[in-house]
């Protein structure tokens, strides 16, 4: 089944075509979402939502980009939305702490990406923690290029900005990460 | 400082040869189940979705009805008691001056 046939079948509500779509792109979507959400169960839930959303809004898909590009966009949007909601919940939790209700959660590097080599496990956890503090655009560009392994051109198509803008985002992301790591290692000397 | 520089470089390079994470087993089945659930909820749009705003609205309406009925009851009670007082006064007055209708004229 080629892409055009797949899109047509999906637009007709074909469940088998949907199953094929999930089978083909599940790892790609899951890896992207996991790198942003950084929690296995939550990432699975968000990744499921990505496919459900894709099925529901397939009629709006004009086919002017690849299915993978379209799925990347939905995945990134859903994952960032999830993070935003989680952060606002945390802020509310912090407010509760101010009034003496509940205990404050300790900030620790606790996410271990399953695809990282064992010897890099601890260092990558620190990097993933620092990634959470990047502005969303920088974070998405860094995730797609460094973790998903996409090139600058594909990333620019997904993010719908120029390659120059992607280069700039990556430069600023690396600078931000570097500054965070300097602070981290200086305070943990 | 040199030590920190090495650590930073190692940390930034720690994901250089990262492998892609794979979706968990039965992911496809779970997605299908979620989709069916979602489609079922879309097919019954006449069922109101449970949202806090509905709870607040219902509560406000119920409270308004209660307040209205209590106020109405209080008003009617007041009117009745005024009438009763007037009747009582009138009867007292009649009794005092022997103005009962039973009196023969």
pLDDT tens by residue, B35-72: 999 888 876 656 666 678 888 999 999 999 999 999 98
Facing A116 at nearest CB: one of B7, B10, B18? B18
Contacts of B34 in chain A (CB under 8 A): 48-49, 52
Look at A97-101, A124-128, A145-149, B28-32 and tell me which has the smallest mean pLDDT.
A97-101
Angle between helices A67-98 and A3-11 (to 10 degrees): 60
* Length of chain A measured in residues: 189
CA distance A22 to B23: 10
State the pLDDT confidence band at A106, using cuts at 50, 70 and 90: very low
Closest chain A residue to the Cα of B38, Cα to Cα: A52
Q: Burial, A139: exposed, middle or buried (Cβ in 10 Å; 0-12, 13-18, 19+)?
A: buried
Q: Burial, A89: exposed, middle or buried (Cβ in 10 Å; 0-12, 13-18, 19+)?
A: exposed
A106-189 fold: Arc Repressor Mutant, subunit A (1.10.10)
Facing B14 at nearest CB: one of A15, A114, A120? A120
Sign of the alpha-carbon torsion through B46, B52, B58, B64:
negative
Q: Looking at residue A101, what is its pLDDT? A: 56
CA distance B64 to B71: 10
Does the pLDDT value for residue A104 go beyond 60? no
Q: Looking at residue A107, what is its pLDDT? A: 45
CA distance B56 to B95: 58
CA distance B91 to A24: 96
CB contact at 8 A, A152 and A40: no
Facing A182 at nearest CB: one of B4, B31, B42? B4
Does the pLDDT value for residue A62 go beyond 80? yes
Does the pLDDT value for residue A68 go beyond 80? yes
Look over chain B and give the mean of its residue pLDDT values, rounded to a whole number: 81
Mean pLDDT across B13-23: 93
Does the pLDDT value for residue B104 go beyond 80? no
- Is the complex ipTM more than 0.95? no
Residue B95: half-sphere exposure toward Cβ, Cα within 13 Å: 6
A1-104 fold: Rna Polymerase Sigma Factor; Chain: A (1.10.1740)
CA distance B100 to B22: 102
How many Cβ atoms sit within 10 Å of the Cβ of residue B39? 14
Name every residue whose Cβ is closer than 8 Å to that of residue B8 and which is 6 or more positions away in sequence.
A178, A181, A182, A185
Closest chain A residue to the Cα of B22, Cα to Cα: A27
How is chain A split into domains, by residue range? Answer: 1-104, 106-189
CA distance A33 to A15: 24
A30/B14 Cβ within 8 A? no
CB contact at 8 A, A112 and A1: no
């Amino acid at each position: 089944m080629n892409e055009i046939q797949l899109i047509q079948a999906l637009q007709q509500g074909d469940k088998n075509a949907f199953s094929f779509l999930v089978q083909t792109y599940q790892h790609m979507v899951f890896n992207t979402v996991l790198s942003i959400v950084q929690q296995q169960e939550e990432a699975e839930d968000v990744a499921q939502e990505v496919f459900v959303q894709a099925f529901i809004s397939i009629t709006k898909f004009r086919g002017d980009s690849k299915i993978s590009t379209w799925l990347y966009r939905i995945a990134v949007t859903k994952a960032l939305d999830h993070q935003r909601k989680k952060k606002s919940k945390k802020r509310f939790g912090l407010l509760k702490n101010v009034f003496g209700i509940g205990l404050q959660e300790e900030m620790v590097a606790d996410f271990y990406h399953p695809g990282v080599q064992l010897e890099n496990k601890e260092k990558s956890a620190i990097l993933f923690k620092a990634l959470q503090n990047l502005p969303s655009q920088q974070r998405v560009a860094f995730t797609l290029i460094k973790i998903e392994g996409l090139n600058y051109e594909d990333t620019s198509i997904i993010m719908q900005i120029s390659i120059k803008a992607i280069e700039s985002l990556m430069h600023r992301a690396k600078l931000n990460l570097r500054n965070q790591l300097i602070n981290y290692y200086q305070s943990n000397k | 400082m040199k030590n920190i520089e090495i650590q930073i470089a190692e940390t930034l390079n720690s994901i250089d040869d990262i492998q892609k994470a794979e979706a968990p087993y039965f992911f496809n089945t779970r997605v299908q189940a979620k989709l069916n659930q979602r489609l079922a909820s879309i097919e019954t749009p006449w069922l109101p979705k449970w949202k806090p705003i509905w709870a607040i609205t219902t509560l406000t309406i119920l409270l308004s009805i209660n307040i209205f009925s209590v106020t109405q009851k209080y008003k009617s009670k007041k009117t009745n008691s005024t009438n009763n007082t007037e009747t009582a006064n009138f009867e007292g007055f009649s009794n005092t001056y022997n103005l009962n209708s039973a009196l023969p004229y």
